Amino acid sequence: MAITGSIGGAAWLGASRARALGRDEPSSIIDCHLHINHRNRSLEDTIKHMDATGTNQAFILPLETGEGGVVLKSDAVLEAHRQYPDRIIPFCQCDVRKSDSLDRIRRYRELGFRGFGEQKEHVPFGDRRIENLISLCDELDWPILVHFQDGKKGYNQGMAEHLEAYLKRYQRVRIIGHAQTWWANISAEVPPPEETLYPIGPVKPGGLLDRLLGKYPNLYADLSAGSGYRALTRDEDYTAGFFERHWKQLLFGTDCPCWDGRGGSGRDDKPRGVCYTTRLKDCLRKMIRDESVLKAVFHDNAKRVLESDV
């Protein structure tokens, strides 16, 4: 099988060789945001996508309740990890509205899960049950990846009002921010969500992300999906400074739904659309000249996020 990839090491050595090299291959890529069954992709095709894009490992994120349109169970992620232990870093997720959710998360930890997410339910971020979840992740010394999307049909609404209070209170949990509202706050000017979730044009300095990332080292930014890519490319001069200030807290992530690393989604092998992984890799390589910074964003920061002292 032909392997392509612009990053050295495991990326172009092929899956079996990459596995043999182990998870600590220094120049490999860790994707902090991947699901399995986007566009009905199988586990095998997900691994093929990782091979085709030079992705050595990925945080695989379940979406238990499927409120965003895709259902992926934590058990399926664990099973996938058992099949591909060197490629798949299993995260768990469960419905925070269920009374046994915290007990389930404790059991998940015993089973070998490494973090929580993607947290994506129609529950406001300031809800007591979300705080209980963050508190438990803090106790477990875990990362939690949160989809922030304000608006009527949003998820974890109210990030701007509540995130700092959690960061002050819980300093061990690594909170990884993702999605439209998270990235809209790269600017000090955030349009109301009913106007647009994807603001464009120059960034107004002094945004919430800049302030919170500067103040709280346990806050991380997930660069995945259209929201991450659009935010990084809307004002490249601003982004250069943003990288300089916060590179230790930026995580390469894709949320890519394609099958083949070329935007295709099926066995007919016709490319359609873009591959988020390839697009973001190219974008970062263009914008970040310092190889050690690139390595941190592609790999080392994700490793640090997973480290637990408990």
Q: Which residue stretch of 98-106, 131-139, 184-192, 249-257 sits at the interface with Zn ion (rule: CB under 5 A)? A: 249-257
Judging by DSSP bridges, how do beta strands 219-222 and 174-178 pair with one another? parallel
Instruction: Name the residue type at position 131.
Output: E
Residue 222 lies near Zn ion (rule: CB under 5 A): no
Q: Which residue stretch of 98-106, 164-172, 255-263, 288-296 sits at the interface with Zn ion (rule: CB under 5 A)? A: 255-263
Q: Which of 47, 277, 280, 305 touches Zn ion (CB under 5 A)?
A: 277
Where b means 16+ CB within 10 Å and e means fewer, 103-121 reads ebbeebbeeebbbbbbbbb
Q: Which of 255, 280, 293, 296 touches Zn ion (CB under 5 A)?
A: 255
Q: Which residue stretch of 103-111, 118-126, 189-197, 234-242 sits at the interface with Zn ion (rule: CB under 5 A)? A: 118-126
CB of 185: closest distance to Zn ion in angstroms? 18
Residue 275 lies near Zn ion (rule: CB under 5 A): yes
Looking at beta carbons only, is 275 or 288 nearer to Zn ion? 275
CA distance linking residue 274 with residue 263, whole number of Å:
4
Q: Which residue stretch of 105-113, 134-142, 234-242, 251-259 sits at the interface with Zn ion (rule: CB under 5 A)? A: 251-259
Q: Which residue of this chain has its Cβ atom nearest to Zn ion in the complex?
A: 275
CA distance linking residue 189 with residue 203, whole number of Å:
8
CA distance linking residue 270 with residue 273, whole number of Å:
10
Residue 72 lies near Zn ion (rule: CB under 5 A): no
Looking at beta carbons only, is 67 or 127 nearer to Zn ion? 67
CB of 73: closest distance to Zn ion in angstroms? 15
3-state secondary structure of 234: coil
Residue 203 lies near Zn ion (rule: CB under 5 A): no
Looking at the DSSP assignment, which residues form a beta bridge with residue 110? none
CA distance linking residue 65 with residue 48, whole number of Å:
26
Looking at the DSSP assignment, which residues form a beta bridge with residue 177? 146, 221
Looking at beta carbons only, is 28 or 53 nearer to Zn ion? 53
Q: Which of 258, 280, 284, 305 touches Zn ion (CB under 5 A)?
A: 258
Looking at beta carbons only, is 149 or 277 nearer to Zn ion? 277
Looking at beta carbons only, is 4 or 171 nearer to Zn ion? 4
- List strand residue ranges (DSSP E) for the chain, in order: 29-34, 55-60, 88-90, 116-119, 143-147, 174-178, 219-222, 250-251
- List strand residue ranges (DSSP E) for 96-218, in order: 116-119, 143-147, 174-178
Q: Which of 256, 284, 288, 302 touches Zn ion (CB under 5 A)?
A: 256
Q: Is there a contact between 183 and 238 (Cβ–Cβ < 8 Å)?
A: no
Residue 227 lies near Zn ion (rule: CB under 5 A): no
Residues that bind Zn ion (CB under 5 A): 118, 255-256, 258, 275, 277
